[in-house]
Structure 1
Amino acid sequence: MTFDPADYGDTLAPLLDGDRRRPLDEGTPQREARPALQALSVESAFAGRRLDDPLMARCCVSGVWLLYDFLDDSHTISQSISTPEGSFWHGVMHRREGDYSNAKYWFRNVGDHPVFDALDERFGGWDPYEFVDRCADAVRSGAGRDECLDQQQAEWELLFDYCYRAAVG
């Protein structure tokens, strides 16, 4: 899959067009983006598109907040979405904040997800729990950092695309 921000509409495209290779830790919220993120809603993000699944659309909004390192805002959204995808975003957020056991809890709630299969195909093996451990090691020691960053970016892009496609049918 090649991730093209233009595939996601006029509102989301400029928000997705930046660096999607985010830190393995909590990062630093990109304050200059806050006004655009605060203006982002399901209605604005999906304007002009038929919306089949509002919960999946909310997952996309949660993912965009996470992309800009606003973990608390992403958390507020994802924890209110009782779906595997809401749990997936929730798990990614907790992994980035360094709450690794909580991240694994949320990944258990995800179950077997099609995005895991896509990650498995791309990287020749994918286990979300093992990835949590590898990210934790990379944050502590730097070992495997670049590989984890690449995989985390692919994870974000695949999950965002999955949620977007489900939202619009």
Structure 2
Amino acid sequence: MSVRTQLDRIVHLLESRQPLPELRPDKVWNAALDEEITALDSLPGASSTAMIALKAGLHLCNDSLDRSHSYSQEIEDDAAGCYWHGLMHRMEGDYSNSKYWFYQAGSHPAMHSIGPKAAEWISRGIDGIAAAHQDRMIELLREMQHQHVWNSGLLTDAIELQESGRAAESTRGVLQYLQRHELIELLAYSRTAANG
């Protein structure tokens, strides 16, 4: 099986995961897949930095926080590496560290595709959520709804609020969708970068 075919299969499995991944996973989703990601050969022509970022993303989409962290730490001078690093810290619950790494990533190109799609999705469901809840969570969702460029820090604030128990449980699914969307969009960017 070619590396591209193997990668296609891995990405398909990760993108079609059901149910949605937890905001703060406590174990690897698929241990066999995690080993397969680690053993994945480099794509022909891919830079080592691009492959490391891709593996950091694949592991994170598989809820393998420790392995993702190891890869992202290897490329802390790369915007994608910083972005993956920030996402990993958010998923482990280290929110201030997460925001530090988002700041280091800067205005990453993936943020330009994440923002509009997330805003559209929020727009379709915000009224039902807002009718039931008038709180800080709705303020954060409305702010995300009006972004043109994605701000990962806002979602981090919303997830921290959710995980602290200060938000209605009915918003958890919305946040899970948004986090998954962010992961999948950054994975797509990393995959394109690794394809050269």
Question: Same fold judged by TM-score > 0.5?
Answer: yes
Deviations 1:84-143 (A, max 9, x none): 100000000000000000000100101112211212211232321111011112223335
TM-score normalised by structure 1 residue count = 0.83
Aligned to 1:120: 115
Aligned to 2:35: 35
TM-score normalised by structure 2 residue count = 0.72
Q: In the alignment, is the contact (CA less than 8 A) between 2:38 and 2:55 conserved in 1?
A: no
Report the more deviating stretch, 64-73 or 26-35: 26-35
Structure showing greater Rg: 2
Aligned to 1:23: 22
Kindly state the Cα deviation for residue 63 of structure 1 after the two structures are TM-superposed. 0.9
Question: Structure 1, unaligned stretches of length 5 or more?
Answer: 1-7
Q: In the alignment, is the contact (CA less than 8 A) between 1:134 and 1:144 conserved in 2?
A: no
SS in 2 for 1:144: helix
Kindly state the Cα deviation for residue 74 of structure 1 after the two structures are TM-superposed. 0.6
Structure 1 residues 12-161: aligned runs within 5 Å: 12-18=7-13, 19=17, 21-29=20-28, 30-41=30-41, 43=42, 46=43, 49-51=44-46, 53-81=47-75, 82-124=77-119, 125=147, 126-141=150-165, 142=169, 144-161=171-188
Question: Structure 2, unaligned stretches of length 5 or more?
Answer: 120-146
Kindly state the Cα deviation for residue 28 of structure 1 after the two structures are TM-superposed. 1.6
Looking at structure 2, the residues matched to 109 and 58 of structure 1 have their Cα atoms a distance apart, in angstroms, of 17
| Identical-pair percentage | 28
Looking at structure 2, the residues matched to 109 and 17 of structure 1 have their Cα atoms a distance apart, in angstroms, of 29
Where has structure 1 moved over 4 Å in runs of 4 or more? none
Q: In the alignment, is the contact (CA less than 8 A) between 1:84 and 1:110 conserved in 2?
A: yes
Looking at structure 1, the residues matched to 10 and 60 of structure 2 have their Cα atoms a distance apart, in angstroms, of 12
Q: How many residues align?
A: 156
Bigger relative contact order, structure 1 or 2, given CA contacts below 8 A and separation 6+?
1
Aligned CA distance change for structure 1 residues 133 and 83 (closer, same or farther; 3 Å): same
Q: In the alignment, is the contact (CA less than 8 A) between 1:25 and 1:96 conserved in 2?
A: yes
Q: In the alignment, is the contact (CA less than 8 A) between 1:50 and 1:168 conserved in 2?
A: yes
Looking at structure 2, the residues matched to 143 and 104 of structure 1 have their Cα atoms a distance apart, in angstroms, of 25
